[in-house]
Chains A and B, each alone.
Chain A
Amino acid sequence: MEKVETMLTEKETEKPQVPEFVVRFSVLQRLEHFVAMFLFLVLAVTGLPQKFYQASWAQWTIIFLGGIDWVRIIHRASGILFALLAVMHLGTILVGVLAGRIKPILIPTLKDFRDAIQQLRYYVGLSDEHPQFDRYDYKQKFEYWGLAFGGMVMITTGFILYLPNLATMYLTGELVPAAKVAHSNEGLLAFLVVIIWHMYGTHLNPDVFPMDTSIFTGKISRERMLHEHPLELLRSSASGSHPMDGGKGRSLEPQLAASAPARLQSANTPDQSREISSE
């Protein structure tokens, strides 16, 4: 950690005009998060009262929204939009990866598991060393894949419930109540993860309290980059591109794909960091 910091300080001295912020998310990514957030909220507000419809708060919500028929219409419409968003997301990644423009950096690696263990060792006091993260740490990857798999379950089961006639054309009818159980439980799980984990990570976490604004503004402070994603910062500096120029509005992913030197990818292992410092 200290070594990386020293390196970065050295770099900074070479470039006197360093902006305080780094662009972390492109406009499209910010928009995608906003739409996903909005649809998630609508789906939760119209979905949970259906799961717990016998509770008074749920009945109040349903009546407030104009009755169960309206709640279902809103829920299904936003569900379809959510499915479209998911298709667009997957399509963009697929095309990007095939064209070589995007490196699938969100795929979990062995380092993520080592990081998680290291982080827990740090939390319980077995170690004084933080793991050093690249562009996405293991927690962010966990949340991304949780959303990806959960979303797939929700979309599939949602469409089974929406079009049971079609679903039972060739498949057993039992699929429909099973889909209902899966949809309602997966939805509850997603809601709990967002309420507990995501809200902690982006709001209540003392590091970012009261709110981590980077997904809305696209910007992250250099200080936080250094603290939370030092490897990414280091890689960008090492490759000569400007992670801090703030003007391009593009994510760092293409740069990562193009320029990441292999030695930097595992910079937090001790022997490798020796290599870095020897350079």
Chain B
Amino acid sequence: MGIHETLTLRLGSLRREWKKRWLWQRRRILCLAAGGAAMALLGMPPLPVGPPPPAFASGTGDTGQSAAEVCLGCHGSAGMTLSFPSGETVSLLVDPQKFASSVHGKSLNCTDCHTGAQEIPHPQLKVKSRREYTLAQYESCKRCHFANYTKTLDSVHFDLVSKGDRRAPICMDCHGAHDIQRSGEHRARISQTCARCHGEIYASYIRSVHGKAILNGGNTDVPVCTDCHQSHSIEDPRTASFRLRIPDLCASCHSDKVRMKKYGISTNVLDTYLEDFHGMTIALYRKQGFTQKALQAVCTDCHGIHDIQPTTGPGSLAMKANLVKVCQRCHGNVSENFPAAWLSHYEPSPKKFPLVYYVKLMYRIFIPFVIGGLILHIILHVWRMATNR
């Protein structure tokens, strides 16, 4: 039996396999839906989901060779290259070990992605360069990963892709091709991936309190790029709508009592910010849905964006000294006294900002005293009127 026939057979079995898998999935979905409805009606907790779908058979043709092995027969050894019209020459070697240990090693075959290479010898490629080939291939991911693919359509990267910018990243640029690993496994690696293009920002990030913690100590509490920027639906961070979300972004960790307790960081940073003029304006702009302008100070304006430094220690002094310059960006030529108008996330107390504290305290006593007295006066008047009658 020739290779050609083996492949045809293999394709047939593949089609059957897919069909079987789909039918099974459909049955599973229907069962789950019916079961879920019944559970909901009976008010019972949902049962764990049924057995996992049958493993995708590592298809063996009549020759006893797996499909991947067929491909690796040629692509498993070094020396094979492909030249593009652009002049690029790429090696066609696929490391069998790497592919086997990748997330797809057990579930996908080469031709599941390389759909154009099902015939041997492979048809002539129509692309002119390596990048063009990658761009054409990237559509194949969406056949399985449709949700994430859809998210990328909203991203700033896809904006560039759709404008014809070939440098903008697509799936494989971040995830790799034959050696794809689970992205959550090595958190530090995520930022390193972004660094391949955004090197300057990465350099600033690794000097920050967050970057240092993850690189030196493998701390998993600190954010990596995707925690603030998202992984697939990456938005242009220079827009007003992104800016409006910054306080909430930071607060998603900094209001977390459990996480902040480890480092002795206060969790009322968001509340104290929202109590201030800027925080109030940002919160209302978000409510109003006005995204044209959001020129209010947010966390990053004082603390920095990627180069965030701890607020205690030597870096904090630089931050404090810098504060008046930060204020002057919007407030014109204000004096050195001006930054003290911001309470630096402190709750007023007799020690910190006593003037604010005592004014607050005075009104806390004065208002009930006056209003209480007036109400008493009214009640007495009404009472006298009633008894006079």
Return chain B residues, CB-CB under 8 Å to A54: 274, 283
Classify the secondary structure of A's interface with B.
helix
Check if A177 sits within 8 Å of B356, measured CB to CB: yes
Min Cβ gap B45→A in Å is 34
Return the chain B residue nearest A72 by Cβ. Answer: B281
Return chain A residues, CB-CB under 8 Å to B340: 168, 172-174
Contact of B353 among A50, A164, A174, A205 (CB under 8 A): A174
Min Cβ gap B62→A in Å is 71
Known: A53-B284, A68-B285, A181-B363. A168 touches B335 (CB 8 A): yes
Q: Is A165 an interface residue (CB 8 A)?
A: yes
Min Cβ gap A253→B in Å is 27
Min Cβ gap A79→B in Å is 16
Check if A123 sits within 8 Å of B290, measured CB to CB: no
Contact digits for B310-344, partner A, Cβ 8 Å, 1 yes 0 no: 00000000000000000000011111011111110
Q: Is A94 an interface residue (CB 8 A)?
A: no
Check if A59 sits within 8 Å of B341, measured CB to CB: no
Check if B375 sits within 8 Å of A182, measured CB to CB: no
Name B341-389 residues within 8 Å CB distance of A: 341-343, 348, 353, 355-356, 359-360, 363, 366-367, 370-371, 374-375, 377-378, 380-385, 387
Return chain B residues, CB-CB under 8 Å to A168: 334-335, 337-338, 340-341
Return chain A residues, CB-CB under 8 Å to B378: 196-197, 200
* Bound complex: CA A181 to CA B280 (Å): 15
Q: Is B287 an interface residue (CB 8 A)?
A: yes
Return chain A residues, CB-CB under 8 Å to B277: 180
Q: Is A155 an interface residue (CB 8 A)?
A: no
Contact digits for A212-225, partner B, Cβ 8 Å, 1 yes 0 no: 00000000000000
Return chain A residues, CB-CB under 8 Å to B97: none
Known: A125-B387, A178-B359. A63 touches B287 (CB 8 A): yes
Q: Is B86 an interface residue (CB 8 A)?
A: no
Q: Is B124 an interface residue (CB 8 A)?
A: no
Return the chain A residue nearest B289 by Cβ. Answer: A63
* Bound complex: CA A196 to CA B368 (Å): 13
Contact digits for A163-204, partner B, Cβ 8 Å, 1 yes 0 no: 011001111111111101110011011001100110010000
Q: Is B288 an interface residue (CB 8 A)?
A: yes
Check if A177 sits within 8 Å of B343, measured CB to CB: yes
Return chain A residues, CB-CB under 8 Å to B333: 165
Check if A53 sits within 8 Å of B363, measured CB to CB: no
Given A54-B283, A168-B335, A173-B339; 19 other pairs, CB 8 A cutoff = A67-B285, A68-B281, A68-B284, A123-B377, A164-B331, A165-B334, A168-B338, A168-B341, A169-B337, A171-B337, A172-B337, A173-B337, A173-B341, A173-B342, A174-B340, A181-B360, A181-B363, A182-B363, A196-B378
Which 7 pairs between the two chains have the least Cβ-Cβ distance? A173-B340, A176-B341, A185-B363, A123-B380, A173-B341, A168-B337, A68-B284
Q: List 21 A-B contacts (CB under 8 A).
A: A63-B288, A67-B284, A67-B288, A68-B284, A68-B285, A124-B380, A164-B334, A168-B334, A168-B337, A168-B338, A169-B335, A172-B337, A173-B341, A175-B355, A177-B343, A178-B356, A180-B277, A181-B359, A186-B363, A192-B367, A200-B378
